């Protein structure tokens, strides 16, 4: 295969942006061959804005069955991500899913089982892993030079959204349509990075405030406390209601503190391991000597295009993916645990009872009310 024919299922805000990027030739080795959407107005948009010759379908399965595609990108509402990935893999197509992997882990586990049985490539759009700051931090942690992690704090409150954002589509911000709020829509990137950098916590205690800042069903303000097996602790704070917001990741290790903020990686490096210093210093008020530095990175941050390039390279040459599709269950496990903790008003262990989570989610889905769908697509620049 010299060229991958890509079909996109779902051409709303994200799918249309991806369609234009591929159609403009931004990803060598991938050609846009088809798009699918259940909304007639989006298919009319495709026929008007995309190059001639790209096929349009009103059903994603029909597009998969058509023989027009070698691979598909799934950019539908969240509940349908596993469903279309499974169908694509079982019908001999490679699959790239937008985030999140799904709405609940039991659903995603079935998707991962299908991926295990398939010889096709399965990737997920965790484009923040292409960010040079996070890549460099991951490299430093993996090298062992930082020692054991002691604490992580992430304030990610610059996801500000207005009421019109939620009113744009009937499925948005409803339990039955979207399956969650800021944790499931905006924060899958940070939850993925959290587990990618720090590993999975063993316990979660979360407070998910629903409709605190917007007229919606789901959560738009979250504070969660995390505990890790090695004794490290963490706090994760997010909302779509703060302006101006903050995106500050602070990690403390035995060898110092690293802060990721404003595209920079600032390291207060200790001259010796804090644990050793604590045990051996004879001065009760002494502090380890530190060196304040900004860590250099390669400056590359290809985002969605980087994920597409890696996807194409895996299919054509066997290269590494930015994120294996099966890794999507990890960040989703964190959000599911946070929801369950908040719903039950108690600390939740990881792994948690997946059947109990689904029962609690279904209670909320039964009471969910779909809003009027205004059919608005704000832009095609890859914003959520």
Q: Determine contact, residues 4/31, Cβ cutoff 8 Å.
A: yes
Residue 9's Cβ-count burial label (10 Å; 0-12, 13-18, 19+) is buried
Domains for the chain: give ranges and CATH numbers.
Answer: 4-127+302-324 (3.40.50.720), 129-299+331-366 (3.30.360.10)
Q: Determine contact, residues 305/21, Cβ cutoff 8 Å.
A: yes
Confidence label for 36 from pLDDT (cuts 50, 70 and 90): very high
Ordered DSSP codes for 170-183: TTTT-TTTTS-SHH
Q: Residue 73: which of 168, 171, 3, 5 has the closest Cα? A: 5
pLDDT at 376: 52
Q: Determine contact, residues 95/120, Cβ cutoff 8 Å.
A: yes
**Mean pLDDT, residues 134-163:** 98
Each residue's pLDDT tens digit, 250-294: 999 999 999 999 999 999 999 999 999 999 999 999 999 999 999
Confidence label for 378 from pLDDT (cuts 50, 70 and 90): very low
What is residue 130's DSSP assignment? Answer: G
239 DSSP β-pair partners: 221
Mean pLDDT score of the chain = 95
Distances (CA, A) of 201 to 195, 231, 338: 8, 10, 11
Task: State which H helix or E strand residue 224 sits in.
Answer: strand 219-227
Each residue's pLDDT tens digit, 106-120: 999 999 999 999 999
Pairing type for strands 4-9 and 247-253 reads unpaired
- Percent of the chain exceeding pLDDT 90 equals 94
Q: Determine contact, residues 236/207, Cβ cutoff 8 Å.
A: no
SS3 call for 223: strand
């Amino acid at each position: 295969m010299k060229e991958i024919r890509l079909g996109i299922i779902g051409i709303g805000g994200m799918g249309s942006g991806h369609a234009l990027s591929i159609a403009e030739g931004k990803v060598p080795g991938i050609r846009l061959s088809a798009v699918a959407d259940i909304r007639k107005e989006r298919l009319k948009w495709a026929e008007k804005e995309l190059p001639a010759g790209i096929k349009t379908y009103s059903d994603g399965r029909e597009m998969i069955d058509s023989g027009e595609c070698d691979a598909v990108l799934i950019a539908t509402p969240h509940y349908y991500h596993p469903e279309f990935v499974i169908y694509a893999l079982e019908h001999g197509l490679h699959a790239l899913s937008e985030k999140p992997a799904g709405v609940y882990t039991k659903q995603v586990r079935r998707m991962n089982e299908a991926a295990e049985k398939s010889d096709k490539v399965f990737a997920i759009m965790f484009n923040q892993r292409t960010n040079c700051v996070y890549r460099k931090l991951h490299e430093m942690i993996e090298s062992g030079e930082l020692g054991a992690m002691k604490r992580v704090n992430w304030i990610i409150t610059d996801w500000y959204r207005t009421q019109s954002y939620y009113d744009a589509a009937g499925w948005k911000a409803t339990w039955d349509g979207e399956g969650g709020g800021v944790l499931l829509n905006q924060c899958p990137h940070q939850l993925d990075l959290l587990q990618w950098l720090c590993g999975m916590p063993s316990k979660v205690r979360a407070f998910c405030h629903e409709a605190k800042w917007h007229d919606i069903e789901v959560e738009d303000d979250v504070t969660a406390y995390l505990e890790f097996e090695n004794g490290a602790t963490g706090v994760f704070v997010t909302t779509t209601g703060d302006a101006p917001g903050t995106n500050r990741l602070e990690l403390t290790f035995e060898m110092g503190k690293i802060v990721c903020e404003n595209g920079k990686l600032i390291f207060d490096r200790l001259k010796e391991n804090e644990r050793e210093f604590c045990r051996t210093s004879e001065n009760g008020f002494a502090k380890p000597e530190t060196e304040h530095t900004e860590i250099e990175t390669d400056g590359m941050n290809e985002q969605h295009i980087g994920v597409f390039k890696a996807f194409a390279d895996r299919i054509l040459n066997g290269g590494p993916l930015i994120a294996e599709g099966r890794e999507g269950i990890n960040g989703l496990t964190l959000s599911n645990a946070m929801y369950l903790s908040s719903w039950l008003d108690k600390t939740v262990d990881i792994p948690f009872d997946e059947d109990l989570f689904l029962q609690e989610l279904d209670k909320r889905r039964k009471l969910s009310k779909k809003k009027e769908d205004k059919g608005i697509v704000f832009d095609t620049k890859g914003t959520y």
